Structure 1
């Protein structure tokens, strides 16, 4: 099985090609604002470098978010188009499930936290009981203010590890906690290879019920692939308030 994975929910973008459980190639673009212009040529390059053609692909997978509105929209659109054009299934994955999978050495209760701007962060809470075990979800994906996150942590009542770009955005609200642990922020920056590996497990039929859920659709249903947005865009919020766009 040859699986193409697309990651663009975090602002930057990239892709990976996996075959029979092994990541053959992975490439990353640091220029977040240019991802729409550069992501398709990157995918073409990646597939060619692995000695393949688009017609050799069996599955395409994508990070559905939450995260960058623009990045999610671009990644999901490309995944839908490839699924439809190549007549292959498409797998959509939750960004926080991906972050939990990527943070495989993080034990106990933990939460990836992403800065979504405009005074809010997105996060989800997980628990991993022992090394090598899958993480279990303790919450749905959440959009919270820093103070709401602090209250949620108080209610949890136990040791907690946080990581991701949202930690810095919540630094003041979190300063009253003395028992929080912090892992490197990079753990929440999902790599394309992580998308590929988790999508391969989904495709294999492995029971991933402890996680939030995923979408797997055949090519005739690919247009139903749904991005994960936890809040309205800035333009939608202005429209709801009756302010000019």
Structure 2
């Protein structure tokens, strides 16, 4: 199965191509400077570099959030347009899952923390077991102090939301480990790997059903409600 994966939920996103679960190529880019046309240019460049025609794609995977509202809309629209044109399924990959999966078979619970702005972080908690990664919490949007209060040592934290939580995590002492800046955002390749597993398990969906996971209303929606 030839799979194109898109990650646009965070500031450092991009695209990856996988063939039967094996990474063939990956391109990263600054989503903060990106619109849909540039993302498609990256997809075209990736396919060209890998010697692959877009018509040969069997499925797509896309990071659905939570994350940047603008980035999620760009990723979902691009994935939906390609999937409709190619008549293939899409694997919706939660962004927090993709971030946690950067640390396979970690020896302690893993808590990805993404900056949600407006004084909140997106978070969840995962444990690795014999059958793989298991999510322990719902996907949450919380103030940093509330997210930190839910954690117990030992725990590994990662993501661009760690800085906001750090003052409240000090109580965990040596039981707290930070994965470091190299693991601050999910990679397109990991989105592809999780997407491949979703599709193999029959979890692919038609393009028409693809929708971002926002967790909270956008600023435009809040303004509309107040109007």
Counterpart in 2 of 1:209? none
Q: Deviation of residue 87 (structure 1)? A: 0.7
Q: 1:134 aligns with which of 118, 132, 135?
A: 132
Question: Gaps spanning 5+ residues in structure 2: where?
Answer: none
**1:144-171 CA deviation, whole Å, 9 max, x = no partner?**
0012113212xxx442111111110122
Counterpart in 2 of 1:116? 116
Counterpart in 1 of 2:34? 34
1:97 aligns with 2:113: no
1:163 aligns with 2:163: no
1:19, 1:110 → 2: CA distance?
Answer: 28
Counterpart in 2 of 1:210? none
Equivalent pairs counted in the alignment come to: 226
Counterpart in 1 of 2:198? 202
**1:28-87 CA deviation, whole Å, 9 max, x = no partner?**
112522243310011111112211211111111100011110111100111111111111
Q: 1:216 aligns with which of 190, 194, 204?
A: 204
2:210, 2:129 → 1: CA distance?
Answer: 32
Could you say if the C-alpha distance between residues 241 and 150 of structure 1 is closer, same or farther in structure 2, counting changes exceeding 3 Å?
farther
Question: Gaps spanning 5+ residues in structure 1: where?
Answer: 207-214
- SS of 2:204's equivalent in the other structure is strand
Q: Deviation of residue 180 (structure 1)? A: 1.9
Counterpart in 2 of 1:45? 45
Q: 1:144 aligns with which of 135, 139, 142?
A: 142
1:124, 1:162 → 2: CA distance?
Answer: 10
2:179, 2:15 → 1: CA distance?
Answer: 25
The answer as to whether partners of 2:148 and 2:168 remain within 8 angstroms in 1 is yes
Q: Deviation of residue 204 (structure 1)? A: 2.0
Q: Deviation of residue 197 (structure 1)? A: 1.4
Q: 1:184 aligns with which of 173, 180, 183?
A: 180
Q: 1:230 aligns with which of 193, 197, 215?
A: 215
The answer as to whether partners of 1:11 and 1:67 remain within 8 angstroms in 2 is no
The answer as to whether partners of 1:12 and 1:35 remain within 8 angstroms in 2 is no
Q: Deviation of residue 188 (structure 1)? A: 4.1
Q: Deviation of residue 231 (structure 1)? A: 1.3
Where does structure 1 differ by over 4 angstroms across 4 or more consecutive aligned residues?
none
Q: Deviation of residue 97 (structure 1)? A: 1.4
| Farther off after superposition, 181-190 or 75-84 | 181-190
How high is the TM-score relative to the length of structure 2? Answer: 0.91
Greater share of strand residues, 1 or 2?
Answer: 2
The answer as to whether partners of 1:29 and 1:35 remain within 8 angstroms in 2 is no
Counterpart in 2 of 1:5? 5
2:183, 2:133 → 1: CA distance?
Answer: 14
